[in-house]
Each structure stands twice: as structure tokens, then as C-alpha cells.
Structure 1
Amino acid sequence: MSTSARMLRLLSLLQTHRFWAGGDLADRLEVSERTVRRDVERLRELGYDVDAVRGVAGGYQLRAGGAMAPLLLEDDEAVAIAVGLRAAAGGGVPGFEDTAVQALTKVIGLMPPRLRRRMDALKTQTDALPWSGGPTLDAEVLTTLAQACRDDEPVSFGYTAADGAATTRRVEPHRMVNIGRRWYLVAYDRDRHDWRSFRIDRIAGTPTTTGQRFAPREVPGGDAVAFVSNGLRSRPQRHQVRVRMAAPAADVEAYMGRWGNVEATGDSCVMTLNTDSLDWAVMILANFDCDFTVEEPTELVEVLSRVGRRFADATA
């Protein structure tokens, strides 16, 4: 392996931001630890801030922050970044559109011709309906929380609860979860001594980091998505919807898993849903090609009747 190829491989390993023992890097690169040290010095001369720990347990880690040095990306990684930026530029992540367009322009401009052709094919052969109606998110808030989750770093932030009360939270961030048009932070609340999920669009300002570290805890149930989903299902809402569906429970569960509960009853099932808006329940039911009976609430029957008459008049 040539020196330049070896340095690119070393940089690719360091960009995972994990701590690498010197011996492990030497084994991966099939060189001596002395050669690894020389290559690390060359990376520093190019602007990469690499921390080194000496001794038997010594090793290297690429430090975050400072001036952004050039990234080393595999072809598929570069395309994945461009696809994500294109989705964000189209409104896939509210509040990111302008920034995503600028970043996308830079990424595509640096791509070699073969990758640009792949992106052009993706653009010309894909149609999309722009997202709308979701809360606007702050890019700095999202990235700060993501880094804190990754680095096990406590954060504090102002938060507006569902009832409008303004509070200050000190948490140990665990994971961010995207459900539908909303983003949630799953974290251990140090003041309440319990796990919580926070709507990120309700966080006021940029979270404050501490520069410290905490020992990670295990989220209840071991799964952040399930934790948020279960919390949403159990949260009090204006309407408790119960509908008997003439469809297999597995088919309804595949669509409803994140929003409601599904109970099998032979060849049919019962779907329950807590919601503040009956219009949302109408949209969900419209996605199923099967007969159903609304058991509660009676207000949903009235909404469905009104919507049904409107559609019938439109097609008369």
C-alpha cells in the first residue's frame, strides 16, 4: 500500500471519532506503530486535529471542532449525503431548506463525474411531494443534541411543556427519534430522576453543553423508538378512538404501530387511538381498503358522515 493510500485509510478510520489504540491501527494498516505515528504527524500538518495518548494504553482520536478539514467519503457515503441533503432541501426537514441547498451545491460540486451522473439520474427519475405542516426545527439545536447523544454529554435547555409552562431541564441525552413530522429527544431528566421524551421544536434556544461526560443508562425497554411511541399512545388526548376493522391485525399493525394499538379478534381486529383531532383519525382510516365500524366516539361517526357526503357530492 502506497503512503498516500495508507494515509487515506488511516483518515477513514479516525473519522469514526472512536479512540484507536496504536497497535490496532498498525494491524489494520499492516505497518509498524512508528509508521502510524509518522502518518498521524502528516495528518496534523494537513490540518486534522488528532489527539495522541502515550504509553502502553496509548492511541489516537480525531478531535471534533476547530476548522473543518476535508472529509474522506466512500462513493456510497457521498451519494447518501447528497440524497439526504436533497430531501432536506425539498422540505423533508422543516427549517433546513436554505442551508441544505447550500451544502448540496458544495457536495455535488466536489463529486467526481461518475457520482454526479448517479445523482442526476436520481433527480430526473424521482418525483416528490413537498412536505408541509410540520413544526420548524433549528439546525443548531438538532446538531448540538445529536453530538451530545453521541458523546454522552449532559445538556440543559429551556423547554415549553404541552400546557404552556416554561421550565429548565438538565438531562442526559440518549437518542433522537423522528416520528412522522415531529422530532423527539429521549433523555434521562436529572432533576426528575426519570426518563422523558422532549419535543425538539419546544426547546427554547440552543441547548447548553457542559463538556463533561456521564455513564450511559439503559432506556426503559431498551428501545428509544418504542419509548416515544408508548408515551404518545398513553398521553391523554381529547378523543379516544375505537374502530373495529375487517382486516388482519398484522396488516393494520404494520401501518398503525407507531400511533395506536391493535388487538386481534379472529380475522378482524380492533384499533384504538388517542388523538386531539378527529380529522387525523379520518386520514388514518382512509388508508385502509376494508370495512370498519366506529365504536367510539360518536363524534367520529358524524365527521365521517360529513366527509362522505362531501366526497359523494364531488363525484355525482
Structure 2
Amino acid sequence: MIQTSARLLQLLSLLQLRREWTGPALAERLDVTERTVRRDIDKLRHLGYPIHASPGIAGGYQLGAGAQLPPLLLDDNEALAVALGLNSVAAGPVAGIGEASVRALAKLEQVLPARLRPRFAMLKAAVITLPSNAAAVDPQQLTVVSAAIADKRQLSFDYVKSDGGSGRRLVEPYRLVDTGRRWYLVAWDVDREDWRTFRADRIVSLPSERRKYVPRPLPDKDLAEYVQRSITRSPYRFDVVVRLHAPIAEVAAVVGPQLAALSDDGGSATILRAGWDSLAAPAAHLAALDMDFEILAPEEFKDYARTLASRLNRAAQSPMAENQAADRSPLAGEASPSRPQ
């Protein structure tokens, strides 16, 4: 019985590892006959695992989806990856997932092998996830949208724009993109006959499915890049491009993907592209980075920077500023502290 149970677990692990197995391949891996494989498959079916079989030379066995979630077999790295993922997703922007992830993590930690517990404890202590300040997303909305994408069905929902205006939208959904802080839906807007990027947290009603649609060519091969370009550059008045004299890893540590698109420029420099509605905002933000940079575009930003530099220079050299600096100087007045002997 013990040998049979161990073989069933090994068979289940193999079925979860690959999409489809032939009978001879399973028999070879398990070192049993094909007849034994068929009997073991029947036993797993009786335990509730939906295993589909296709006849013929090219046929085989495939683990399908059932009405209930059966136990999963994970190797060491997979178990650690799932545990760390559950630990970090609690701070994510999807509403209600935090509590569910904590419950699932408690179940997983309870059955972690003793050899994995020190590794998981070490990784858990070393990794800290900052809570997101983004608006929460209803997980049911993500589920409905994902199903519509898979089934290629139109969606209708109420949407609130950035200016506060709202309205009903009819779209052909294509992809959900997670930027870390927010979820975005890339879709074809049927009424506007154009591609749009929708923030998932601004969908204020549960999307309802409509008729099926014929897929159209995507606006970009890399939809993650398309979304980043849409949220950092496209909606804004000025398309700012600068060269920062710092490696891209150093810049990425202080400039998030929601703010700008970064690209390497020779290893020691980084090209930053971002959209802004005013020129004062990027000037202040770039100055706060405490990194040398060159303005590449637009020309209006170069002119603004020259004007701002002149204003700051005059401010630094004004008589009032000089008097205040003199008052703070150690050489001014008897109240200054004496020099150590």
C-alpha cells in the first residue's frame, strides 16, 4: 500500500509537471507497465482528480480542471515561490486578497517540510513589501475582465475619468497589465473607435459581458511598454526627455515605472522620458534627484530651465540673501561659538 501511494503521488506530480503525457512515457518514468499506469489513473480519478485521456498513437493523459481544487504537489523552489508570493501580495492593491493570502500562507507554512522552514524564514525576514497607496481593485472585476479576454467578449462598464467625469464604456478587452501599484486594462473602445488604457480601480461597476468580437491587431507588440507609455507620456502636454548621468539601476531605485520610462544610455547614463502638463513639475522633480542631467527635449523645457536658473541665481545673490548668510556665518558677531583650542 505504501509503495502504491508513493507511486500515485509521483504520477500526480508528473501530470502537474507537463501538459500531456503518453502512457508509455509515464510507464517508463514510473518504471511500471502501461496497465499499472491505467489502474493508477483510475485511482486518481476516484480521488477527485479530473484526468482526461485521448485515444490513439498520439493520445495521452492530461490533468484538467475540476469542480473542486485538489491538493497540489510542489517542489522545494515552487513551494518557496508560492509562500513568498502570498507573503508579499497581502500589501497589494487588490481588495480582499490580503486576508485570503494570509489564510493560504498559514496553511502552506503548516505543511512546509522542515528542510524548507529555515530558508523561508530567512527570505521572509529579508523581504519587506511596502503597502500600496493606490485605490483598491475588486478582485471580482479582475476575474470578469480576465474571463472576457479569454473568451474574446466585449465588456460594458461604468468608468470614472481623471477629471471626475463618468460614463458607460463598451470595449473589446485584450490584456490586463499590473504595474505594481495599479492594474490597467488595454482595450479597444468601440464607441471612440480607438485603443484606450483604463485604470481598473476607476471601473466603478461590475463589467458585464456582451457579444463576442473578432480580435484586431494590437497597438504594440509589448503591451507593458504600451501601457507605460500611455500612463507616463501620452496624456500630457509636454514630452520631456533628459539624460541623467547615473546608471539605470541607480535611477530606477528612485524613479518608478509609473512616473517615467527609463532606458540605458551606455552604462553610465540613463535616458528618462516622461509626460508633464507643466514644466515646473519636472524641473522640481529632476532637481530633487540630486543627479547631473541634460535636457534633450523639448525646447520649451530648455528655455524654462534657463529662466529658472537665472531666477535662482538672482535669489542666491540678492542683498537680503547675503545678509542672512552673513548672520549665519561663524565669523559674524560675538555670539558665534569659539574655535576649539
The answer to whether TM tops 0.5 is yes
Corresponding residue number in structure 2 for 1:53? 54
SS for the counterpart of 1:123 is helix
The offset of 1:287, in angstroms, is 3.7
Matched, 1:92 2:113: no
* TM-score in terms of structure 1 length: 0.70
Q: Following TM superposition, by how much is the alpha carbon of 1:77 offset from its aligned partner in structure 2, in angstroms?
A: 1.0
Equivalent residue number for residue 286 of structure 1: 288
Structure 2: 5+ residue runs without aligned partners? Answer: 296-300, 317-327, 329-341
Range moving further from structure 2, 227-236 or 27-36: 27-36
Q: How does 1:140-155 map to 2 (within 5 A)?
A: 140-146=140-146, 154=153
Paired AA for residue 202 in structure 2 = R
- State how far apart, in whole Å, the 2-side matches of 1:4 and 1:213 are: 46
Query: Partner residue of 1:182?
Result: 182
Change (3 A) 1:14 1:261: same
Cα distance in 2 for residues equivalent to 1:16 and 1:166: 46
Q: Secondary structure at the match of 2:116?
A: helix
Does structure 1 retain, via aligned residues, the 8 Å contact 2:22–2:60? Answer: yes
**Do the aligned residues in 1 keep the contact of 2:182 with 2:199 (CA within 8 Å)?**
yes
Greater fraction strand: 1
User: Which residue is equivalent to 1:313?
Assistant: none
RMSD of aligned residue pairs (Cα, Å): 4.5
Alignment of 1:1-316 (within 5 A): 3-15=4-16, 18-20=19-21, 22=23, 25=26, 29=30, 32-89=33-90, 91-95=91-95, 96-126=97-127, 128=128, 130-146=130-146, 154=153, 156-160=155-159, 162=161, 164-171=165-172, 173=174, 175-187=175-187, 196-207=196-207, 219-237=218-236, 239-240=237-238, 242=240, 244-245=242-243, 247=245, 251=248, 255=252, 258=257, 259-260=260-261, 271-275=272-276, 282-283=284-285, 286-287=288-289, 289-291=291-293, 295=302
Residue 132 of structure 1 aligns to a residue whose secondary structure is: coil
1: CA distance between counterparts of 2:250 and 2:217?
27
Distance (Å, rounded) in 1 between the aligned partners of 2:29 and 2:214: 29
Q: Which has the larger radius of gyration?
A: 2
Deviations 1:184-230 (A, max 9, x none): 234566787765543222334555579x9999776444222122223
Aligned residues between the structures = 297
Counterpart contact for 1:245–1:292, Cα < 8 Å: yes
Q: What residue identity is the alignment partner of 2:288?
A: A
Q: Is the 8 A contact 1:152 1:215 kept in 2?
A: no
Percent identical: 36
Show the counterpart of 1:312.
Answer: none
What runs of 5+ residues in structure 1 fail to find an aligned partner?
310-315
Query: 2:248·2:264 contact (CA, 8 Å) conserved in 1?
Result: no
The one-letter code matched in structure 2 to 1:78 is: A
Relative to structure 1, the CA distance from residue 145 to residue 108 in structure 2 (aligned partners, 3 Å threshold; closer, same or farther) is: farther
Runs of 4+ in 1 over 6 A off after TM superposition: 189-194, 212-218, 261-265, 267-270
Cα separation, partners in 2 of 1:160 and 1:17, compared to 1, 3 Å:
farther
Q: Any conservation in 2 of the 1:244–1:268 contact (CA below 8 Å)? A: no
In 1, the alpha carbon distance for the partners of 2:33 and 2:195 equals: 47
- Greater shift after overlay, 109-118 or 228-237? 228-237
Residue pair 1:17, 1:63 contacting (<8 A) in 2 also = no
Deviation at 1:284, TM superposition (A): 6.0
Alpha carbons 2:160, 2:204 under 8 Å: kept: no
For the Cα contact (< 8 Å) 2:94–2:139, is it kept in 1?
A: no
For residues 13 and 200 of structure 1, the distance between their equivalents in structure 2, rounded to whole angstroms, comes to 37
What's the TM-score once normalised by structure 2's chain length?
Answer: 0.65
Inter-partner Cα distance in structure 2 for 1:88 and 1:119: 16
C-alpha distance after superposition, 1:35-81 (max 9, x if no partner): 43322211112221223334455433333252221111111111111
